Amino acid sequence: MQRKLAAGNWKMNGARADLSMIDRLNTSHPSPDCDILLCPPAHLVSQAVAQAAKGTLKIGAQNCHSAETGAYTGDISAGMFAEIGASHVIVGHSERREGYGETDTDARAKATAAQAAGLIPIVCLGESLSQRDAGDALNVILTQLAGSVPADSEADTLVVAYEPIWAIGTGKIPTMDEIAEVHQALRANLIDALGQTGAAVPLLYGGSVKPANAAGIFALEHVNGALVGGASLTAQDFSPIIQALSDS
């Protein structure tokens, strides 16, 4: 049975004052039927962990380096995030792949480092609009899956998130049939690669998830949660998404 997860990626947004949202979420969802995760910018992770300790909400990081230590100015290792109490880390996000040239090999190395440090990597996959229009979406996504996921992953050490690049922050989303097709293919390929472990890995959908469309997305088979961007920045938007997942 996959554990449902509502994950919020704040990206490069947020200040200390915004962490008051954690208290509101913990109060609104004291015993949710899903896990709740916030991934704020790195400078807020430690304080967010301390504040989240009052309830069940978890705190993660948005990226990590694949090395444990070294001369990597400006980078933070998975072990460093684990030391301050983070539980998850996002790897392979399209904004890292496109903006920094990160590859499937980089994503796998970071995911492997995260698992070694005791963090759960959220491995992101997704196609561009041109790849979708060319009918190549599934091939692109499954190639990313094969190259980005550590081969010895266990169900409780891995999350996979499908985020079509063209839907991130645009207000556009694939059709429900398109989302279902991708998630079904991801599930089948995870089972092929990991055996029955692959049947229990949580699969998230990301890309313009809003309160208005969340329930429909969560009703789809093999969708076990969401990786939410802009709508995770306020409790007003994120809370109904959490509730929709908890009710699904």
Cα separation of 35 and 64, whole Å? 22
Is position 29 annotated as part of the catalytic site?
no
Cα separation of 227 and 172, whole Å? 15
pLDDT at 2 over 90: no
Q: How far is CA 232 from CA 7, 41, 58, 140, 222, in A?
A: 8, 13, 14, 27, 22
Is 229 labelled a binding residue? yes
In the chain, what are the domain boundaries? 5-247
Is 147 labelled a binding residue? no
The conformation of residue 168, written as its DSSP 8-state character, comes to: T
Per-residue pLDDT averaged across 231-244, rounded?
98
Quote the pLDDT of residue 167.
87
Quote the pLDDT of residue 170.
80
Quote the pLDDT of residue 64.
99
pLDDT in tens, 64-94: 999 999 999 999 999 999 999 999 999 999 9
Q: Which of 93, 95, 102, 222 is catalytic?
A: 93
pLDDT in tens, 198-209: 999 999 999 999
Residue 77 phi/psi, 5° resolution? -85, 165
Q: Is the distance from CB of 165 to CB of 127 less than 8 angstroms?
A: yes
Quote the pLDDT of residue 186.
98
Against a cut of 0.75, is the pTM above it?
yes
Is position 93 annotated as part of the catalytic site?
yes
What CATH class does 5-247 carry? alpha beta
Is 230 labelled a binding residue? yes
Q: Which of 95, 102, 127, 163 is catalytic?
A: 163
Q: How confident is the model at residue 173 (pLDDT cuts 50, 70, 90)?
A: confident
